[in-house]
Amino acid sequence: MTTLYECHLDGVCAADTVGALLERITGLTGIAPYLLARGSVDSAAFVEHEIVFACRNNATANIGGSMRAVAQCLKTDSEGVIRAVPLLQRDWSLRFVAAPQPPKPGQAVSLRAVYDSPVVAGNLFDFIDMLDFDLAFEFVRKGYRFHYGPICITVSCIYKLLEKHKLSSMTPFDAASETWLVELTSERTRTESIPIVSEAIAAFAKNLRGLVDMGIVDVNKFVASKPLDELKSLSQDPQLIRTQFKPLELNQLEFNILHAIDEAKFTMRGRIVPVEKKAGLFKYESDPKMDLTPFQTPATDYTQRYKIIAMDMDGTVLTTSIQLCQLQKAKFNDFIAIHLDQNGTAFHIDYTVDSSSPCSKDQKPVDPKTTFKTRTLVSKAEEGTRPKLEQMSSEKAEGKEVEKSFLQKYWYYI
C-alpha cells in the first residue's frame, strides 16, 4: 500500500469575523458555497459526524494515531429537501490518521500519514468491534468547506454530543467564546509532491492574515498517556485525548530519498533500508525507474543546485543541497547521513560527495553509464545524564489560573 500524506495548517477565528473570512476566501477561490448565510451556524453548508475509536487491547494501543469514522449527516432528497440521514444509513468513511511529527525548523506545514477507505457494505460498528476497537469520543462539525486546487479550506464550529450518536443533543464545546476552527488541508499527497503542496498551503495562508493566523499546532506539547477507561468516558464527557507514542527500533526505519535540480519537481531516487541480520546498519537502494539523464547533463553554471529530500515513514522531511557540478565531478559517489534523536525521530541530514576540488569550466561530461554509488549512515543520539528538576504546573503561575487557548483545549479535534 502506498503511504499518502496530508499537509495542514490550523487556526481559530472569532464569530464576529467569520463572515469577513468567508468573503475573503470566496474572493481568493471564486467559490461561494451558501455564502448568503454570512457565517451563520444555523445555515452551515455541511454537518459532519466524526467518531474516534481507541484500541481495546493494551498490547496494540500504541499505534501512534487514531481510527476515525466520518460521515455527512444531511442529504438532499429527490424533492430538493435537506434531511437528516439515520446513523446506519450514512455514507461512512473509515480513516486512520497517524500522529503528526513534531515540527522541524523551517517546516511550512504539519504533516501526517492518512489512510482512507469508504464503507461500501455491512455494519461499520460491527467491523470496528471485530478490529478490537471501542468508541473513545465523538463530535460534530458544522460549517463551510471550499476546494481550491489541491487545498481544502474548512471553517467550522465543533459540537459535543450529550447523548451517544444523537445529533439533537449536540451543544457547542466553546459556547462562551463562539470560536471557529479554520483548517487548510491538502488532498492525499504522494511523497514526491509534498514540497509543492506545502508551498501552496503556506502561500494561501498568507492571504488570510488579518482575519486568522494559520500555523503549525505541535500536539506533542499536549500529549501524555491516559488509561483506556478514561478514553472510553470521552463519549460522555469529552476531554483531552493523550496519545501514546512508541518509538520505532532502528531495524524498523526506512527513508525515501527524492532529488531535483533547482526548482524542478522532486522525483524518487531510492530508499535507505536496514541491512538484514545486521542491527544498526543501513544500505541504499536505487529506484529502478529513476531517470538520471537530467543529472548527468553537464551543469551550465556553478549556481545550479542538486537537492535531496529524505522522508521517513511518519512523514518527517529533511532536505539539503550541494552544487550540481560537485556531484558530477565526484562521478555520483556520495554519502548520506541521517541523524536521529533519542526517540528515533530523524532531525538532521548530512550530504557530501567524494570531491573536494572546486568545479571548473572545462569539466568533463559525465559518462551516461554512471549511476549513484551511495554510502549511508543512520545514527541515533545517546541520551546523557539529566538533572532532576521540579517543574511548575503549566496551568498555574503566581497563584493565578492560566487560561488555555482554544487550540490548547481542543487540539485533538484537528
Exposure of 142 by Cβ count < 10 A (0-12 exposed, 13-18 middle, 19+ buried)? buried
100, part of any domain? yes
Say if residue 186 is in the same domain as residue 280: no
Task: Tell me the average pLDDT across 32-42.
Answer: 45
Say if residue 217 is in the same domain as residue 298: no
Bridge partners of residue 48, in order along the sequence: 72, 141
Q: What are phi and psi of 126, to 5 degrees?
A: -65, -40
The DSSP secondary-structure symbol of 101 reads P
Least confident of 49-63, 165-179, 206-220, 325-339: 49-63
149, part of any domain? yes
Nearest to 18 by CA among 115, 153, 163: 153
Query: Taking CA 197 as the corner, what is the angle to CA 247 and CA 260, rounded to the nearest 5 degrees?
Result: 85
Least confident of 117-126, 171-180, 232-241, 323-332: 232-241
* 157-175: pLDDT as tens digits: 888 888 888 888 888 877 6
Say if residue 216 is in the same domain as residue 311: no
Task: Tell me the average pLDDT across 398-411.
Answer: 66
Task: Tell me the average pLDDT across 228-244.
Answer: 35
What is residue 336's predicted lDDT score, i.e. its pLDDT? 94
Say if residue 268 is in the same domain as residue 144: no
Say if residue 143 is in the same domain as residue 214: yes
Q: Which of 221, 247, 274 finishes a domain?
A: 221
Question: How much of the chain, in percent, has pLDDT values that exceed 70?
Answer: 74
Largest interatomic CA distance in the chain: 77
Bridge partners of residue 97, in order along the sequence: 66, 114
C-beta of residue 371 within 8 angstroms of C-beta of residue 286: yes
288, part of any domain? yes
Least confident of 229-243, 279-293, 377-391: 229-243
Residue 212 and residue 16: Cα distance in Å, rounded? 12
Which CATH number covers residue 166?
Answer: 2.40.320.10
Q: Structurally, how many domains does the chain consist of?
A: 2
Tell me the residue ranges of DSSP E strands in 149-198. 151-161, 170-172, 179-186
Nearest to 31 by CA among 150, 157, 179, 148: 148
Q: Which of 221, 239, 269 finishes a domain?
A: 221
151, part of any domain? yes
* 76-120: pLDDT as tens digits: 667 666 677 888 888 898 988 887 766 676 778 888 888 888 888
Residue 287 and residue 122: Cα distance in Å, rounded? 40
Q: CB-based contacts of 170: which residues, under 8 Å, 6+ apart?
A: 140, 159, 160, 161, 162
Give the 3-state secondary structure percentages of the chain, helix then strand then coil, rounded to 5: 20, 35, 45
Q: Which of 199, 221, 243 finishes a domain?
A: 221
Q: Is 326 left (phi over 0), alpha (psi -120 to 50) or beta?
A: alpha
Asked whether residue 234 carries a pLDDT value surpassing 50, the answer given is no
Say if residue 217 is in the same domain as residue 262: no
* 338-371: pLDDT as tens digits: 988 877 788 889 999 987 777 777 677 788 888 8
236, part of any domain? no
Say if residue 212 is in the same domain as residue 353: no
Residue 46 and residue 32: Cα distance in Å, rounded? 13
What is residue 375's predicted lDDT score, i.e. its pLDDT? 93
Say if residue 24 is in the same domain as residue 158: yes
343, part of any domain? yes
Say if residue 211 is in the same domain as residue 319: no
Would you tell me how many other CB atoms lie within 10 Å of the CB of residue 84? Answer: 12
Residue 11 and residue 406: Cα distance in Å, rounded? 9
Residue 41 and residue 179: Cα distance in Å, rounded? 11
Chain centroid offset of residue 17 CA: 27
The DSSP secondary-structure symbol of 167 reads G
227, part of any domain? no
- Hey, what's the cell of 236? 460522555
What is residue 270's predicted lDDT score, i.e. its pLDDT? 92
Average per-residue pLDDT in the chain? 77
Question: pTM of the full predicted structure?
Answer: 0.56
Our separate counts of H helices and E strands in the chain read 7, 21
Residue that has been written with the C-alpha cell 468491534 in this structure: 129
Say if residue 291 is in the same domain as residue 187: no
Look at 386 and 321; give whichever has higher pLDDT.
321
Residue 266 and residue 121: Cα distance in Å, rounded? 39
Which domain, by its residues, includes 321?
255-380
Asked whether residue 37 carries a pLDDT value surpassing 50, the answer given is no
Q: What are phi and psi of 112, to 5 degrees?
A: -150, 150
Half-sphere exposure of 64 (CA within 13 A, CB side): 15
Residue 172 and residue 200: Cα distance in Å, rounded? 32
Task: Tell me the average pLDDT across 136-146.
Answer: 88
414, part of any domain? no
- Residue 283 is inside which H or E element, if any? strand 282-286
Say if residue 105 is in the same domain as residue 59: yes
Bridge partners of residue 195, in order along the sequence: none
Asked whether residue 393 carries a pLDDT value surpassing 80, the answer given is no
Measured between its terminal Cα atoms, the distance across the chain in Å is 25
Asked whether residue 225 carries a pLDDT value surpassing 50, the answer given is no
C-beta of residue 172 within 8 angstroms of C-beta of residue 180: no
Task: Tell me the average pLDDT across 269-278.
Answer: 86
Say if residue 169 is in the same domain as residue 217: yes
Task: Tell me the average pLDDT across 64-71.
Answer: 80
